[in-house]
């Protein structure tokens, strides 16, 4: 159980750091976020801070103990965000490095989710 908890927190910590660091420019609506989300992917500017806040709140929900239903929704929401971002880059014919890079946060998401359930089941 202790080994499972350590693995869970390492994976979840790395995953959370990635999502938080990617959400901050969106929340602040920085020029880099606008350049990528609006100019390259074509999303409206008003969507950028919304998705940033949603990602940030999702990570908060994952990190706070308890609230298993909210945690499930947070994992699902962030999964939709990451899969949608990957699809957007592929659909626009972006560089192959973009979708390949997305494997890392998706793997951390999967690992965090799997180990979260292992902790819940007492394994």
What average pLDDT does range 98-110 have in this prediction? 89
- Residue 106: is its pLDDT beyond 90? yes
pTM of the model: 0.89
Sketch the domain layout of the chain as residue ranges.
Answer: 2-121
The whole-number pLDDT of residue 44 equals 95
Q: Provide the token pair at 39.
A: 């100019």
- On whether the CB atoms of residues 78 and 44 are closer than 8 A, the answer is no
The whole-number pLDDT of residue 123 equals 63
Give the pLDDT band (50/70/90) at residue 100.
confident
Closest CA to 2 of 108, 123, 112: 123
């Amino acid at each position: 159980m202790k080994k499972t908890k350590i693995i869970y927190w390492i994976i979840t910590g790395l995953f959370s750091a990635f999502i938080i660091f990617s959400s901050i420019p969106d929340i602040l609506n920085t020029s880099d976020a606008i350049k990528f989300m609006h100019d390259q992917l074509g999303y409206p500017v008003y969507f950028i801070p919304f998705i940033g806040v949603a990602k940030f709140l999702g990570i908060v929900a994952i990190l706070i103990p308890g609230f298993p239903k909210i945690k499930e929704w947070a994992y699902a929401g962030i999964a939709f965000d990451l899969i949608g971002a990957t699809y957007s880059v592929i659909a626009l014919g972006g560089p192959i490095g973009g979708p390949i890079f997305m494997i890392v946060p998706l793997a951390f998401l999967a690992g965090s989710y799997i180990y979260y359930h292992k902790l819940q089941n007492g394994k």
